[in-house]
Amino acid sequence: MGKFVSVLPLMIVGALSAAAPVRFELRDTSGSLHTSDEWRAKKAVVLFFTMTDCPLANGYVPEMNRLRATYEPRGVAFYAVQVDNTVSDAAVKKYAQEFGYSFPMLNDSHLALARLTGAKVTPEVAVLSSSGEVLYLGRVDNKVEDLTHPRYAATEPELRNALDAVLEGKAPKEARTRAVGCSINISIQPESK
Amino acid sequence: MKFLFLGGLAALATTAAAAPTFNKDIAPILYENCATCHRPGEVAPFSLLTYQDAAKRATLIATVTKKRYMPPWKPEPGYGNFDHVRRLTDDQIALLQQWAATGAQEGDAADKLTIPTFPSGWQDGEPDQVLKLSAPYTLAADGRDQFRCFVLPMNLAKESYVSGAEFRPGNPRVVHHALIFLDSTGTARKLAAASGGAGYPCFGGPGFTGAGLLVGWAPGYTPLPAEPALSQAVRPGTDVVIQIHYHPSGKPEQDQSSIGLKFSGPPTKGRALLLVVNRYLDIPAGDPHYVVKASVTVPQDAELWGITPHAHYLATDMKVNARLPDDSVIPLIWIKDWDFNWQGQYRYKQPIKLPKGTKIELEYVYDNSAGNPHNPSNPTVRVRFGEQTKDEMALAFLGLVLPSPEDVQPFQRAVVLQYVEDFVRLTDNLNDLPEEIPPAMIPRLRMALALFDRDHDGKLNAEERANLLKVIQTMMPQSQ
């Protein structure tokens, strides 16, 4: 598994029972350990599902960096979640540096976070509560609602809308939007042990 | 024969039960239709050469092929018999769906194909002259797509003949498509200097008149072999102008694309670029179905080699037909679902014979409603012809071959006359002469217009227009 620590099995248990908080323990590409403890003090957590060679996901990195700059000071934690387990740790690290991610990238080798949230493609984002409840799952904005007919420019910043609602203590108006992008091939990747 | 019949059924049952495998069913489809771009170092974001490459994207492959997003091929089958068609059959698409749904199996090692090899470097062999952007162009990590023209001086000592041209993207991650022009007017140089360097922003066109389109490039494009019989005369002082459409990748990128040229002797056949255009389109804000038509008559027998339809973001449906003198119609192309991002140059398998008097008829449909996701204007606005992103265009370039180089000048003159007729028929603004009319003709044309403008109000009224049209028509070559 290289230097990445896999998600603890407890995390999945946590996801199944709404009451129990999600347990979380993963290393990022620079080797720092991230645990569920660091979520507790946050108002919300954003997971950005990505992979090294999905052009649609890569195109959103600058926007995600802007979102982090806006919302991190307001108590939101940001993580990129890399979901292609056929790519070496070194390649993931190089990729994170090249694209200038300003927030930690976790290698989700067993797709535990993808399964927890139900993310199916990259780019897809999940907004979680501090206890790991999925408050929003879907696209960053509506630029690509249909792969064959992308909008000239997005007209709805859906992730921003969701974060604004959550920070006001409300439920997002749209809790789920349909993300379009590179499929996360859960069926042919190894199951979480 | 009962026995045989049963045998046939058994065979069918076996075929239906077996899940498709990469080695037997999928690799042949990918190698034939996808690998030109989807291999290491090429324009596609990932390779699809090995089982591992393809299996982890089985669902994605199934999705994008079903929607016919990939491979990118816009023309409808049955409307123009094109070379290098990249279109999957319904059966191939069904196989890809099945493969993803049944767990993307690798299959029997005995069925495994050898991974195809592709020629590296210049596809048509070493060029005689290679021109490269003078410095790498830096593209920001995100934001709008960029359209930039780069001026590359050819530094010719004497008149030369270009017989072949091949574009090579420097950074395939960001080069989305390219059009290569020749500029003998020095305009592009001035535009570049005014922009403070070797390039300038240019969305709709290179910004100079009489631009000869040399060649285009889009992902998957197979370069034409050099064609000395159709070489193009190029004067000293001519520049190559490369218009590149860049698509940001998410990180800052640099590109230094290049073009390889081949030279030969003078041409033995004539080469003419026929432009079918309507520059008088005027699309009301919010109109979901605006039809634009244009036509040009081929003034002498010609062969049609290829076609390049062009519009901006609002076009949805594009049709070009050839109406022969006997009133029969040859469909030249139909794009049902135009996508600005996947515009191509299409070459016919066999040149199409167009007898003198053939009318090329263009009919494009535009959706200027808010319901068109491609609409660059929000809220919607009235749209007219122009080179900017929010303007529209309605044109098709037809690559024609004439029996002899001597045919080109009279051919072009006869076509220009038709543009003049269209101009007189469709507009009354004498100050808005279209750029298809060569600059040298403009003073005389102005004079003629002034002459027919009897009441000297700067406009042609119905009678003045009719009189001028009569004169122009007597100057047109007779089609029958």
User: CATH number of the domain that B339 lies in?
Assistant: 2.60.120.230
Kindly state whether residue B123 falls inside one of the protein's structural domains.
no
Instruction: Say whether both B103 and B147 belong to one domain.
Output: no
Q: State residue B466's pLDDT score.
A: 86
Overall domain count for chain B: 4
Residues B51-63 as b/e (b if ≥16 CB within 10 A, e otherwise) read bebbbbbbbbbbb
Place of tokens 């000048």: B409
Mean pLDDT of A120-139: 95
Instruction: Say whether both B399 and B273 belong to one domain.
Output: yes
Instruction: Say whether both B154 and B184 belong to one domain.
Output: yes
Peptide bond into A104 cis (omega under 30): no
- Residues of chain B contacting A187 with CB distance shorter than 8 Å: 59, 103-104
Instruction: Say whether both B54 and B86 belong to one domain.
Output: yes
pLDDT at B144 over 80: yes
Percent of all residues in chain B with a pLDDT value above 90, rounded to a whole number: 69
Nearest CA in chain A to B373: A151
Q: Which of residues 290-319 of B touch A (CB under 8 A)?
A: 313
- Residues of chain B contacting A61 with CB distance shorter than 8 Å: 141-142, 250-251
Kindly state whether residue B60 falls inside one of the protein's structural domains.
yes
Instruction: Say whether both B254 and B278 belong to one domain.
Output: no
Q: Which of residues 117-156 of A touch B (CB under 8 A)?
A: 145-153, 155
B337 contacts chain A (CB < 8 A): yes
B52 contacts chain A (CB < 8 A): yes
pLDDT at A12 over 60: no
Per-residue pLDDT tens digits for B298-334: 999 999 999 999 999 999 999 999 999 999 999 999 9
Per the model's pLDDT, the better-predicted residue between B440 and B451 turns out to be B451
- Across the interface, of B67, B248, B375, the residue whose CB is closest to A148 is B67
Instruction: Say whether both B370 and B394 belong to one domain.
Output: yes
Q: State residue A190's pLDDT score.
A: 41
The band of B209, judged by pLDDT with boundaries at 50, 70 and 90, is low
Q: Do A151 and B373 touch (CB under 8 A)?
A: yes
Instruction: Say whether both B284 and B376 belong to one domain.
Output: yes
Q: In angstroms, what separates the C-alpha of B318 from chain A's closest C-alpha?
A: 17
Q: Do A99 and B69 touch (CB under 8 A)?
A: no
Kindly state whether residue B249 falls inside one of the protein's structural domains.
yes
Cα–Cα distance between A2 and A114 in angstroms, integer? 20
Q: Do B373 and A146 touch (CB under 8 A)?
A: yes
Instruction: Say whether both B344 and B274 belong to one domain.
Output: yes
Mutate to test the interface with B, among A148, A151, A155 (most CBs of B within 10 A): A148
User: CATH number of the domain that B184 lies in?
Assistant: 2.60.120.310
In CATH, the architecture of A9-188 is 3-Layer(aba) Sandwich (3.40)
pLDDT at B422 over 90: no
- Across the interface, of B103, B141, B376, the residue whose CB is closest to A187 is B103
Task: Count other C-beta atoms under 10 Å from residue B323's C-beta.
Answer: 16
Per-residue pLDDT tens digits for B37-96: 999 888 898 999 999 999 989 999 999 999 999 999 999 999 999 998 999 999 999 999
- Residues of chain A contacting B46 with CB distance shorter than 8 Å: 53
pLDDT at B5 over 50: no
Task: Count other C-beta atoms under 10 Å from residue B64's C-beta.
Answer: 19
Domain boundaries, chain A: 9-188
Domain end call among B242, B267, B292: B267
Q: State residue B43's pLDDT score.
A: 85
pLDDT at B439 over 80: no
The band of B210, judged by pLDDT with boundaries at 50, 70 and 90, is low
Kindly state whether residue B51 falls inside one of the protein's structural domains.
yes
Nearest CA in chain B to A153: B376
Q: Do B56 and A58 touch (CB under 8 A)?
A: no
Return mean pLDDT, chain B.
Answer: 89
- Across the interface, of B141, B250, B374, the residue whose CB is closest to A152 is B374
Domain end call among B377, B403, B429: B403
Q: Do A148 and B337 touch (CB under 8 A)?
A: yes
The band of A192, judged by pLDDT with boundaries at 50, 70 and 90, is very low
pLDDT at B385 over 60: yes
Instruction: Say whether both B175 and B79 belong to one domain.
Output: no
Q: Which range marks the domain in which residue B431 is found?
A: 409-480
Mean pLDDT of A21-47: 86
Range of lowest pLDDT (B65-69, B260-264, B353-357, B464-468): B464-468
Cα–Cα distance between B19 and B4 in angstroms, integer? 25
Instruction: Say whether both B283 and B390 belong to one domain.
Output: yes
Q: Do A188 and B103 touch (CB under 8 A)?
A: yes
A54 contacts chain B (CB < 8 A): yes
CA-wise closest residue to B320 among B304, B311, B330, B333: B333
- Across the interface, of B58, B142, B337, the residue whose CB is closest to A188 is B58
The band of B438, judged by pLDDT with boundaries at 50, 70 and 90, is confident
The band of A8, judged by pLDDT with boundaries at 50, 70 and 90, is very low
- Sequence letter at residue A172: P
The band of A108, judged by pLDDT with boundaries at 50, 70 and 90, is confident
Domain end call among B224, B248, B267: B267
Q: What's the gap between Cα B138 and its chain centre? A: 25
CA-wise closest residue to B181 among B239, B130, B234, B261: B239
Instruction: Say whether both B311 and B416 belong to one domain.
Output: no
- Residues of chain B contacting A150 with CB distance shorter than 8 Å: 373-374
Strands (E) across chain A are located at 25-27, 33-35, 44-50, 76-82, 105-107, 121-122, 124-128, 134-138, 182-183
- Residues of chain B contacting A98 with CB distance shorter than 8 Å: 251
B238 contacts chain A (CB < 8 A): no
Q: State residue A21's pLDDT score.
A: 63
Kindly state whether residue B7 falls inside one of the protein's structural domains.
no
Nearest CA in chain B to A182: B60
- Residues of chain A contacting B249 with CB distance shorter than 8 Å: 55, 58-59
Torsion B302-B306-B312-B314 (CA) sign: positive
Q: In angstroms, what separates the C-alpha of B179 from chain A's closest C-alpha?
A: 22
Kindly state whether residue B121 falls inside one of the protein's structural domains.
no
Please report the number of interchain residue pairs, chain A to chain B, with beta-carbon separation below 8 angstroms: 80
pLDDT at A29 over 50: yes
Q: Which two tokens stand for residue B398?
A: 């037809």
Are the CB atoms for B68 and B336 separated by under 8 Å? no
Q: State residue B388's pLDDT score.
A: 85
Q: Do A152 and B373 touch (CB under 8 A)?
A: yes
Cα–Cα distance between B108 and B5 in angstroms, integer? 29
B41 contacts chain A (CB < 8 A): no
Are the CB atoms for B346 and B80 separated by under 8 Å? yes
Task: Count other C-beta atoms under 10 Å from residue A192's C-beta.
Answer: 18
Nearest CA in chain B to A187: B103
Q: Which of residues 152-181 of A touch B (CB under 8 A)?
A: 152-153, 155
Q: State residue A4's pLDDT score.
A: 45
